[in-house]
Chains A and B, each alone.
Chain A
Amino acid sequence: GENVEQHPSTLSVQEGDSAVIKCTYSDSASNYFPWYKQELGKRPQLIIDIRSNVGEKKDQRIAVTLNKTAKHFSLHITETQPEDSAVYFCAARRYTSYDKVIFGPGTSLSVIP
Chain B
Amino acid sequence: NAGVTQTPKFQVLKTGQSMTLQCAQDMNHNSMYWYRQDPGMGLRLIYYSASEGTTDKGEVPNGYNVSRLNKREFSLRLESAAPSQTSVYFCASSPRDLQFFGPGTRLTVL
Interface positions of A (Cβ within 8 A of B): 1, 6, 9, 32, 34, 42-46, 49, 51, 89, 93, 95, 97-106
- CB of B40 within 8 Å of the partner chain: yes
Pairs A-B, 7 closest by C-beta atoms:
A105-B42, A43-B101, A99-B50, A103-B43, A106-B42, A99-B31, A103-B42
B residues neighboring A (CB under 8 Å): 30-31, 33, 35, 40-45, 48, 50, 56, 58-59, 90, 94, 96-99, 101-104
Check if B99 sits within 8 Å of A89, measured CB to CB.
no
A46 adjacent to B94 (CB under 8 Å): no
Contact A43 B42, CB 8 Å, known A99-B48, A101-B33: no
Residues of A within 8 A of B31 (CB): 99
Question: Would B56 and A98 count as touching, CB distance under 8 A?
Answer: yes
Q: Contacts of A6 on B, CB cut-off 8 Å?
A: 42
